[in-house]
Structure 1
C-alpha cells in the first residue's frame, strides 16, 4: 500500500480473524481493553499510552488498539439514530447507551494526528498514506466515522465502477453527478448502506458528502487500470471526449474524438478498434491524445451521443469509453491546451460554456437557461450535429436548482479539495526534493476558504486556486497546510521538503558496466552504474533549462527576460551569460512557445529602459519574435500563469 491512501478499517469479523490463532474473539479484545482501564477512563488510558513511546523504540504506536475500538464502535449496528456515536461506544463497552461526549474523548484527536505523523513522516508512507480526516462537523467523532465509510471489498471494486461509469480526473464531475453514476453502475459492488447514502445527495447530509469525498480521493489516486480477474490480466481504461471546431459564420460544427487517461500513452501511439474499423491516435500532452483518425479525423457526429460507445486497442490492453448522456458540457479548449471547444465532466460556475442537448431535454434546459443563466442563446448550426441535437452558448450559470436533480451533470461542485500538484517526490509519500516542491491546489466553489502554510496566509496570485510554497520554507521539518473558513480548519495535509538525502548503496542490485553487462569489480574508478548511482565517471553539470523536446535539426529560438537576449539554436550556441525563459520550437506551419525558466518569480521581463543591450539587431529580433505579427507562435500549454507571463513579455516587447 506504499503511497496509497489507507484507513484504520476495523470490523468484528476482522478482529475475530486476527484472533483465530489465539482462539480469541472480538469480545475478548473488548474485555482486554476494559481490563486495562484501572481508575482512568478508556480515553485517558489511550492518551497515557502515547507518552514517550517513540523513545522506547516500539514498532507500532501502542494506542492503535484503542483507536481500533473507537472505529469498531462507529460501525456498530443497533437501534441508534444515524448520527449517534457515543451511545454505540457505550453499548460496545457494556455501559448504558446514553448520549453525551464520552469522558476525555476530545483528547483522542491528538492520537489520530500522531498516527498520521507516524505513517506519513516516520514511516515515509511506506505502509500507506494515512489522513486523519474529519467527517462533517463532528470534530471529535468524525475521524473514526470516516474510517468506516467503505469496506475493503468496496474499495477493491471502485476501479471497476470507475471504468464502467467512464470517470476520470482530468475533468472531475460534480459530487452529485459522481453519486448518480456510482448508484447506477455500483449496484453489483456496493453495500445497500453505501448505495442508500449515495442516493441522499442533498447538501445537508454530511455523511453522504463525506462518503463522496472519500470516493473522489480514491478516484484521484486511480491510475486508470483494473484487474480483469476472469482473464488474469490488467486493462487500462480512459474516456473519449468530444472536441469541436465551430464555424459560426458558416453555421457548421466539426466534432472529433480524443482520448484522455492518467496512464502513460504508449510511445508508438494507439490503434483502436471501433465496429471492426481501425483508428489511430498519439499522445498530445497533459493526458490527452491527438484527434482519433484513420485517413481523416473521426467524424463524431455520426454517433448518437445518448448512447455509450467504446474503443479498444488491437492488443486489448486499452479501452476508452464515451459515456452516454443526453446533455454534454463544453468549454473553451485554451484552458486545457487544446484548440476549439472541449467536452468536460462538470458545469463551470460563473464562466462561459457550451451545451450540446438532445431535443428531449430542451424544454427544461431552456427554462433553466432563461431564469438561471446569463447570455443563454441557441446557436443555429446547420451541419455537424447528430440528428435531434442542438447547441447552446452560455455566458455564465448562476444557479443549478432547476436542473441538478433531473440532470446531475448540470450540478455545481459543492466540496472543498486540497491537493498537491507537480513537484519531485522522494519515494511514494509526501516527501519532496527541496529544489522541486509541489504546488498547492485549493478547489472551493464558493471561494470562502483561505490557505495557510505553517500558520502563514498564502496569496493566490494565479487566480486559479493554485498556490506556491513560500521560498523561505524550512527543509527537513514537517510543513502543515491548512484550508480554513475563519478559524475552522476545513482541509489539511502535511508534507516534507528534503534538502539532503543519502544515496542507497546497500541494495543488492548489481552494477552494470559501460557495455550493459553485470560487473563484480570492486574498483571504484571503473565506470559502472546502478540505477541513478554512477561510479567512475565525471559527469558534467547538467543545465535543466535546456531539457527541451528538440527533434533532429529542429531550430529553437531561446528568449531571455531582458530585451536583446535571443539566440537561435543550432546556428548559435546555447547562451551561458543569461538564462532563457522561453524556447520557441520552429515548425512548418506553427511555432510552439515553451517555458524553460528557473521559476516564475524570477522570469518577469525587465523594463526596456534598463536593458544593457546595445545591439539594435538583437533588440529588434527580441521584439519581432515576441510580437509575432504573423500569428505563427502558439502560446505555452497548460498552466494559466505561463500564458499570463507570455502576455507580459508581449507587452514589454511593444516598448522596445
Structure 2
C-alpha cells in the first residue's frame, strides 16, 4: 500500500457516516494498523515504510516537514480525506507504545517506531504538528459539518505538542465498547447525568473488570485540576451523551433507562404531588410501553411524551397515575417489560435534585442528576442528611430554605429550595450528587437536524448550552457575542442571521475554552429519486413499474397530493380545542366548533385543554405578524380575542424562542387595551 492508501483507509475507519454528530477520537494501535493492512496484503512494516516515503508530490526532507507540506492546498486536489491523517495516526501510535521507556518519555517511542536511535529531545518540527490537528478539526467540524464525525484537537498536560496525540489514547477501543454495559450497571442517564466526580466514582465501582488499571487510577484521582483525568472524563461524557441506552446482558441486547421523579408543589396546601416518568434516548415503541415490578405485583403503562421522557406512569389496575412517594427512595425501584427487553431504574439516593421543568416542556419541577450552575433548584433529602445539608445550604447557597411540605413525601424526607449554589466544597465528598461540574462543556440542544451531523434547518436552529462556566466565559458565534437567555447558560442564535456556517466559541478573554460548529440550511429539496426500497399500500416491496404508488419513509411517488398547509393542521386530543388568533383584535376561530378562517391568516394556534395551554406561532412571516388596529365590529369576537390573550395569559405556556416571546408579549399588551 502506498501512503495515500494507508491514509485514506485509516481516515475511513474513524470518519464515516455512522459517526455523524458523534465525537471521533483517533485512537490508533499496532493491531488496528495490522488489521487495516491485512485487507490489502500489507503489514505494519509496510505502514512505516509508507510513512517515511510520504504522499506523492512531497519534495522536502524530514517526517514532520513532509507532513506539513502534504497539507498545502490539499482541498484543491480533490482528495477524499486530509492527506496528513496517517502522520497523526503515527504520532498517536507512538504515545501508546509499550517498552522500557520512562513514564513521560515520548520522542524515544516515536524514534523507535521509525527504526531510529531512541534518543530524547523534540523531533524536528514536531512543535508545528498542532497546525495539522487544528486543520483536521476545521475539516471535520466546519467543512463537513460533523457529517463524518466531530473531532476536537484537545491537548492534555503541560507539554502542549505531545499532549495532542496523548489526548487520543485515554481510552482503548475495548474500553469504549465496554462503556454501555458500565453505564447501564451504574444507572447513568445520557439525558441527565451527574457531575464529573460522581461519574468517576460510579465508573470505578462498576467498571473494575472492563477498564484498565491505568484508567481506573485516573478516575480515582481526586484533584479536579488533573488535566489527564479531566480529559478522560470529558471523553467518557461524550460517549455517555451518544449512548442510546442499549447494552449487552448475557448475550441479549437490552434497553436501559432511568425513572425520573416529577413533582408539582402546592405551597398553600403544603403538598407535593409526585409522579414517575421513563427517561431514555432510545426510540419508544409505537404502542404504550407496559412495565412490571420485579415481583410482578403491579403493572404500569406509559407512552412517549417529549425530550426523551415518557408520560407519567399509569397503574394498569385502576388507571391512576403512579404515586412517586409510595416507594423507598433509599433503595430505588426497577421496572421491566414482560420480555425484559426494556428496563428502567430509579437509582437509590438519600438526596434528590429537582429543577424547573419548563426547559423540558414539563409542568412543575423534574428530577435531574446534577446540581445546576447559577440556577435555582430544589432538594428532597432524607433525614439522615439534614445536619450536613443544612450547614452546607446556609453557608454555600443563596436563598436556601426549607419548605413546609406535610403531604406527598415518603416518611423521613424533607424538601428544600435555593436560588443558586455558590460552592460544593463542604458536601461533594459525602454526597457527590451535589457536586458542581468542573469541566466546561458547550453543547447543542433542540433544533431540527437535517440528516446527521451538525446540520440544522435554519427555521429551527438549536440552542447552545454552556455548562460548568463562570461569568468570565462568553459565547461567540462567528466572532459575534451572543446574548444569554433568561436561563443562565443557554444561548440562542440570532433569528435574523444571514450566515449559514457558524463557528461557536466559548472564550475566557482571548483563550478559546470550547468550540463547535454547525450549518444552517434554508432551502432543501428532496432528491429526485430514492434508492431505498419502495412499498405499496399493503406494505409489500414493489418495483415501481407503471408509475404505481409507492412509499419509502417520507419519500412518496406516484401520488398527487395537495400542498401541506402548516397553519391549519394541529392535533386535537380528547376535549382539547385550538384557538386560531389573527393579528387584528376580533380575528379568532375556535376549532373544531368553528371552521377555519378564509378572510384572514392566523398568527397563533393556541391549544387549550382542561389545564394549561400552549401558544404556537403559525404565521407565514414574523415581521408581518405584529398586532394591528382592529377593523372588527363583532363585540363577541373582540371579547374572545381579549380573553384568550389577556385574561387567560397565565394559563398558557408562551413560545420557547425569544423572538416569539417578544411577539407574544406584544399581542398581550394589545389585548389588554382592547
Shift in Å at residue 489 of structure 1? 1.8
In the other structure, the counterpart of 2:32 is: 14
In the other structure, the counterpart of 1:33 is: 51
Which range moved further: 53-62 or 355-364? 53-62
State whether structure 2 residue 226 is matched by structure 1 residue 205.
yes
CA separation in 1, counterparts of 2:397 and 2:264?
A: 24
CA separation in 1, counterparts of 2:245 and 2:301?
A: 20
State whether structure 2 residue 167 is matched by structure 1 residue 146.
yes
Change (3 A) 1:81 1:637: farther
Shift in Å at residue 254 of structure 1? 3.8
Contact 1:635 1:643 (C-alpha < 8 Å) held by counterparts: no
Change (3 A) 1:648 1:14: same
Shift in Å at residue 320 of structure 1? 0.6
Q: SS state of the match for residue 314, structure 2?
A: coil
Q: SS state of the match for residue 197, structure 1?
A: helix
**Structure 1, unpaired ranges of 5+:** none
In the other structure, the counterpart of 2:247 is: 226
CA separation in 1, counterparts of 2:532 and 2:649?
A: 55
Contact 2:485 2:658 (C-alpha < 8 Å) held by counterparts: no
Contact 1:280 1:292 (C-alpha < 8 Å) held by counterparts: yes
State whether structure 2 residue 431 is matched by structure 1 residue 412.
no
Change (3 A) 1:433 1:381: closer
Change (3 A) 1:640 1:564: same
Contact 1:564 1:622 (C-alpha < 8 Å) held by counterparts: yes
In the other structure, the counterpart of 1:489 is: 512
Change (3 A) 1:435 1:590: closer
Change (3 A) 1:541 1:82: farther
In the other structure, the counterpart of 1:650 is: 668
Q: SS state of the match for residue 87, structure 2?
A: helix
**Structure 2, unpaired ranges of 5+:** 1-17
CA separation in 1, counterparts of 2:498 and 2:580?
A: 32
Shift in Å at residue 629 of structure 1? 5.1
Q: SS state of the match for residue 130, structure 1?
A: coil
CA deviations 1:3-60 (Å, max 9, x no partner) are 2433221123333444557887656644653466986332111011223444544454
Shift in Å at residue 102 of structure 1? 4.1
Contact 1:135 1:206 (C-alpha < 8 Å) held by counterparts: yes
State whether structure 2 residue 387 is matched by structure 1 residue 368.
no
Shift in Å at residue 645 of structure 1? 6.1
Contact 1:635 1:646 (C-alpha < 8 Å) held by counterparts: no
Q: SS state of the match for residue 443, structure 2?
A: strand
Change (3 A) 1:469 1:350: closer
Scaled by the length of structure 2, the TM-score of the pair is 0.84
Change (3 A) 1:445 1:482: closer
Map 1:332-481 → 2, pairs under 5 A: 332-464=356-488, 465-469=490-494, 471-475=496-500, 478-481=501-504
Map 1:61-72 → 2, pairs under 5 A: 61-72=82-93
CA deviations 1:109-155 (Å, max 9, x no partner) are 33334434555677675654434344477654443222212111111
Contact 1:136 1:210 (C-alpha < 8 Å) held by counterparts: no
Contact 1:581 1:603 (C-alpha < 8 Å) held by counterparts: no
CA deviations 1:79-116 (Å, max 9, x no partner) are 777766556545655455545x5433343233334434
Shift in Å at residue 69 of structure 1? 1.0
Contact 1:259 1:320 (C-alpha < 8 Å) held by counterparts: yes
When the two chains are superposed, the root-mean-square deviation of aligned CA atoms in Å is 3.6
Map 1:63-102 → 2, pairs under 5 A: 63-77=84-98, 85=106, 88-89=109-110, 92-93=113-114, 94-95=116-117, 97-98=119-120, 102=123
Which range moved further: 251-260 or 314-323? 251-260
In the other structure, the counterpart of 1:622 is: 641
Change (3 A) 1:571 1:301: closer
Q: SS state of the match for residue 46, structure 1?
A: helix
CA separation in 2, counterparts of 1:539 and 1:70?
A: 57
Change (3 A) 1:417 1:649: farther
Which range moved further: 536-545 or 40-49? 536-545
CA deviations 1:534-593 (Å, max 9, x no partner) are 445443322223342224785311123443332222344434565534322343x22522
State whether structure 2 residue 578 is matched by structure 1 residue 556.
yes
CA separation in 2, counterparts of 1:491 and 1:600?
A: 35
CA deviations 1:407-439 (Å, max 9, x no partner) are 111111232222223333332222334454433
CA deviations 1:597-619 (Å, max 9, x no partner) are 3599648853x6x5555654433
CA separation in 1, counterparts of 2:158 and 2:48?
A: 28
CA separation in 2, counterparts of 1:576 and 1:179?
A: 61
Which range moved further: 256-265 or 549-558? 549-558
CA deviations 1:386-414 (Å, max 9, x no partner) are 34333333343211111112211111123
Scaled by the length of structure 1, the TM-score of the pair is 0.86
Change (3 A) 1:634 1:72: same
CA separation in 2, counterparts of 1:354 and 1:425?
A: 33
Which range moved further: 184-193 or 120-129? 120-129
Which range moved further: 113-122 or 196-205? 113-122
Shift in Å at residue 313 of structure 1? 1.5
Which range moved further: 411-420 or 281-290? 281-290
CA separation in 1, counterparts of 2:657 and 2:211?
A: 37
Shift in Å at residue 379 of structure 1? 3.8
State whether structure 2 residue 561 is matched by structure 1 residue 539.
yes
Contact 2:263 2:272 (C-alpha < 8 Å) held by counterparts: yes
CA separation in 2, counterparts of 1:225 and 1:364?
A: 38
Contact 1:480 1:492 (C-alpha < 8 Å) held by counterparts: yes
CA deviations 1:448-484 (Å, max 9, x no partner) are 3222233333333455422215634345xx4322222
Change (3 A) 1:560 1:216: farther
Q: SS state of the match for residue 372, structure 2?
A: coil
Q: SS state of the match for residue 621, structure 1?
A: helix
CA deviations 1:353-378 (Å, max 9, x no partner) are 22222233222222212221233333
CA separation in 1, counterparts of 2:265 and 2:148?
A: 50
Q: SS state of the match for residue 673, structure 2?
A: coil
In the other structure, the counterpart of 1:593 is: 614
CA separation in 2, counterparts of 1:434 and 1:642?
A: 15
State whether structure 2 residue 215 is matched by structure 1 residue 215.
no
Contact 1:286 1:638 (C-alpha < 8 Å) held by counterparts: no
Contact 1:512 1:518 (C-alpha < 8 Å) held by counterparts: yes
